[in-house]
């Protein structure tokens, strides 16, 4: 759950709903709300499936629709501004979308909210800026058309946010706080957005330029989103546009390479009458379902439902049924015992689960889909990979051939947690046939080959099996501090200390020892 904080007077200005009623209704709708301290600040918890509600504007819109039945109709103007997306970004951050919002009222509270929704979207929808990065700019400070391209680390210089001197991308990555935090997302080619005069708007996904800083004086805004998924960057633009529209802004499309960049388009679904009866177990009439969906912000015409373009959570008919249930009220459902009996039994799990937990490890679960770059960063280079025929994003183009890259990614995202961190995962890999493997790793200042060797031997001893260890070499590990595990005359895995260059690629600052082998 993401936490959204805002001052109640700002919320009241947007929806005119009393504080007690707002807290009660938001909690009932699945957004637990409460007052903070003795002041006028409210805190609301928002589930990750509703990124459009990660701000005061989104929550005010949700409540206004539910109580007053007001529909969120946003008129989108025709494009005036063009953005040229250069072929040089195809292998860097290929996805791009944007919009213009004019005549927006940016008060101090609105500015805080815009910054909050930007960061919340980076953390959730954007997967910490890897999948989506958002730039919001003062349009009146630059001259369209704009160009999105990739350059070398020292080819361009500009003044980044919160600085006074010009810096190259290389200097930003080494010296600027945001550059150091997100340097692992940028390679030798740096994405850049410039205007007609060559002035820099943004160095995505790192930092915007000081030139286009949004202030309370800003009236016209240009939004850019870049990333690895075209659907995700469009969703981010839709959400930010909906936020600024709540502040009185007029939304306008842009063109990308001369073609309209369609935003805020409604999605059409059949009215889920039969599905509601089947999944909810209540006999609601067509008119009742239409009324409930209207309270959740959907537009209903005849036998069809039109979902707002900023509702990224609606991906099929079941999501509409969920909205019917929320609007109906979960407390209004009568509990019933199921009309059948079932008996559970223990599943068959590899014995290593219980043993690794006993050795102090925590289980993790990661994506089975991956991409070649992540595996190459871990020095896993050999073998033919099982490719996805129709990938929707560059993050997931293959079925993983090893679990270790995912374990290293989790360690990277957990590096601020208390040490030692000891995690493991049991799951399938494709080589290219599917096989079950176990991977476990330990990260702390004294992680070593001796530690992981002792863990491997303890694991086999506890399972009552024999294994032989031989000095060996394997890409992810330090030469001379790596060994293979041989059981029943067959090499079933490797273990050792993770090589320094691999630690650097995964932005890890502590030693890591790990093992991956057949489960």
Q: Which pLDDT tens digits describe the chain residue by residue (519 residues)?
A: 788 999 999 999 998 899 999 999 999 999 999 988 777 899 999 988 899 999 999 999 999 999 887 666 799 999 999 999 999 999 999 999 999 999 999 999 999 999 999 999 999 999 999 999 999 999 999 999 999 999 999 999 999 999 999 999 999 999 999 999 999 999 999 999 999 999 999 999 999 999 999 999 999 999 999 999 999 999 999 999 999 999 999 999 999 999 999 999 999 999 999 999 999 988 899 999 999 999 999 999 999 999 999 999 999 999 999 999 999 999 899 888 878 887 777 666 678 888 999 999 999 999 999 999 999 999 987 677 888 888 877 888 999 999 999 999 999 999 888 999 999 999 999 987 889 999 999 999 999 999 999 999 999 998 888 889 999 999 999 999 999 999 988 999 999 999 999 999 999 999 999 999 998
Per-domain boundaries in the chain: 2-68, 76-260, 267-331, 352-518
Give the torsion through C-alpha atoms of 9, 11, 16, 22, to 10 deg. Answer: -110
Q: How far is CA 264 from the centre of its chain?
A: 20
> Would you tell me how many other CB atoms lie within 10 Å of the CB of residue 285?
9
Name the CATH topology of 352-518.
BirA Bifunctional Protein; domain 2 (3.30.930)
Q: What dotted CATH number matches 267-331?
A: 3.30.56.10
User: What is the distance between the alpha carbons of residues 24 and 276, in angstroms, rounded to a whole number?
Assistant: 26
Residue 239 has φ and ψ, to the nearest 5°, of -70, -45
Does 3.30.56.10 match the CATH number of domain 2-68? yes
What pLDDT does 248 receive? 92
Domain 2-68 and domain 267-331, same fold? Reply is: yes
Q: How far is CA 237 from the centre of its chain?
A: 14
What pairs with residue 513 in β-bridges? Answer: 442, 497
Q: How far is CA 516 from the centre of its chain?
A: 27
What pLDDT does 349 receive? 67
Contacts of 350 (CB under 8 A, 6+ apart): 426, 436, 438, 519
- Residue 185 · residue 172 · CB < 8 Å: no
User: What is the distance between the alpha carbons of residues 473 and 360, in angstroms, rounded to a whole number?
Assistant: 27
What pLDDT does 174 receive? 94
- Residue 328 · residue 292 · CB < 8 Å: yes
Residue-wise burial string across 29-38, b where 16 or more C-beta atoms lie within 10 A, e elsewhere: bbbbbeeeee
Residue closest to 386 by CA, chosen among 410, 403, 369: 369
- Residue 106 · residue 48 · CB < 8 Å: no
User: What is the distance between the alpha carbons of residues 3 and 5, in angstroms, rounded to a whole number?
Assistant: 7
Return the half-sphere exposure (C-beta side, CA atoms, 13 A cut-off) of residue 400. 23
Residue-wise burial string across 327-338, b where 16 or more C-beta atoms lie within 10 A, e elsewhere: bbeeeeeeeeee
Length of the chain: 519
Tokens linked to 280: 């909810």
Residue closest to 401 by CA, chosen among 415, 416, 388, 414: 388
Place of tokens 């009660």: 24
- Residue 202 · residue 192 · CB < 8 Å: yes
What pLDDT does 347 receive? 65
User: What is the distance between the alpha carbons of residues 167 and 290, in angstroms, rounded to a whole number?
Assistant: 56
Residue closest to 245 by CA, chosen among 421, 128, 73, 404: 73
What pLDDT does 352 receive? 87
Q: What's the whole-model pTM score?
A: 0.74
Strand order in the sheet with 207-208: 207-208, 200-203, 190-194, 146-151, 82-85, 255-256, 259-260
User: What is the distance between the alpha carbons of residues 174 and 280, in angstroms, rounded to a whole number?
Assistant: 55
Tokens linked to 193: 């957005």
- Residue 242 · residue 96 · CB < 8 Å: no
What pairs with residue 441 in β-bridges? Answer: 423, 514
Q: CATH top-level class for 76-260? A: alpha beta
What pLDDT does 390 receive? 85
What pLDDT does 323 receive? 95
């Amino acid at each position: 759950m993401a936490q959204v904080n805002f001052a109640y007077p700002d919320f009241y200005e947007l929806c005119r709903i009393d504080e007690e009623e707002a807290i009660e209704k938001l909690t009932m709708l699945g957004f637990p709300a409460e007052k903070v301290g003795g002041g006028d600040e409210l805190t609301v918890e928002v589930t990750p499936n509703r990124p459009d509600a990660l701000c005061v504007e989104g929550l005010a819109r949700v409540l206004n629709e539910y109580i007053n039945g007001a529909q969120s109709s946003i008129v989108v103007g025709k494009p005036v501004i063009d953005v040229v997306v250069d072929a040089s970004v195809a292998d860097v951050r290929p996805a791009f979308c944007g919009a213009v919002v004019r005549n927006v009222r940016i008060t101090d509270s609105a500015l805080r909210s815009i910054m909050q929704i930007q960061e919340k979207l980076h953390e959730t929808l954007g997967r910490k800026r890897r999948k989506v990065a958002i730039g919001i700019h003062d349009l009146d400070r630059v001259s369209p058309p704009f160009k999105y391209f990739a350059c070398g680390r020292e080819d361009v210089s500009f003044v980044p946010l919160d600085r006074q001197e010009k810096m190259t991308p290389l200097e930003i990555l080494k010296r600027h706080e945001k550059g150091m935090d997100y340097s692992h997302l940028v390679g030798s080619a740096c994405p850049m957005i410039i205007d007609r005069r060559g002035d820099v708007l943004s160095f995505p996904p790192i930092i915007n330029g000081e030139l286009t800083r949004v202030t309370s004086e800003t009236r016209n805004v240009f939004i850019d989103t870049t990333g690895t998924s075209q659907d995700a960057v469009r969703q981010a633009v839709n959400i930010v546009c909906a936020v600024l529209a709540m502040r009185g802004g007029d939304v306008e499309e842009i063109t990308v390479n001369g073609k309209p960049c369609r935003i805020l388009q409604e999605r059409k679904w059949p009215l889920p009458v039969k599905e509601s009866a089947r999944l909810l177990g209540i006999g609601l009439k067509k008119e009742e379902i239409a009324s409930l969906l209207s309270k959740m912000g959907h537009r209903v015409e005849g036998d069809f439902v039109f979902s707002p373009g900023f509702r990224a959570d609606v991906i099929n008919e079941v999501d509409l049924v969920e909205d019917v249930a929320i609007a109906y009220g979960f407390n209004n459902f009568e509990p019933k015992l199921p009309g059948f009996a079932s008996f559970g039994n223990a599943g068959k799990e590899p014995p290593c689960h219980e043993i690794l937990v006993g050795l102090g490890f925590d289980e993790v679960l990661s994506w089975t889909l991956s991409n070649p770059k992540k595996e190459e960063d871990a020095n896993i280079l050999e073998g033919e990979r099982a490719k996805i025929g129709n990938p929707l994003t560059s993050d997931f183009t293959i079925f993983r051939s090893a679990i270790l890259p995912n374990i290293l990614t989790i360690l990277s995202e957990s590096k601020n947690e208390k040490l030692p961190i000891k995690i493991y995962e049991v799951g399938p890999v494709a080589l290219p046939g599917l096989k079950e493997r176990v991977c476990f790793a330990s990260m702390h200042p004294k992680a070593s080959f001796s530690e992981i060797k002792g863990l491997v031997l303890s694991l086999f001893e506890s399972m009552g099996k024999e294994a032989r260890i031989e000095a060996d070499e394997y890409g992810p590990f330090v030469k001379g501090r790596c060994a293979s595990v041989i059981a029943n005359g067959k090499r079933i895995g490797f273990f050792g200390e993770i090589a320094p260059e691999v630690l650097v690629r995964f932005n890890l600052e502590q030693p890591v020892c790990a093992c991956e082998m057949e489960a």
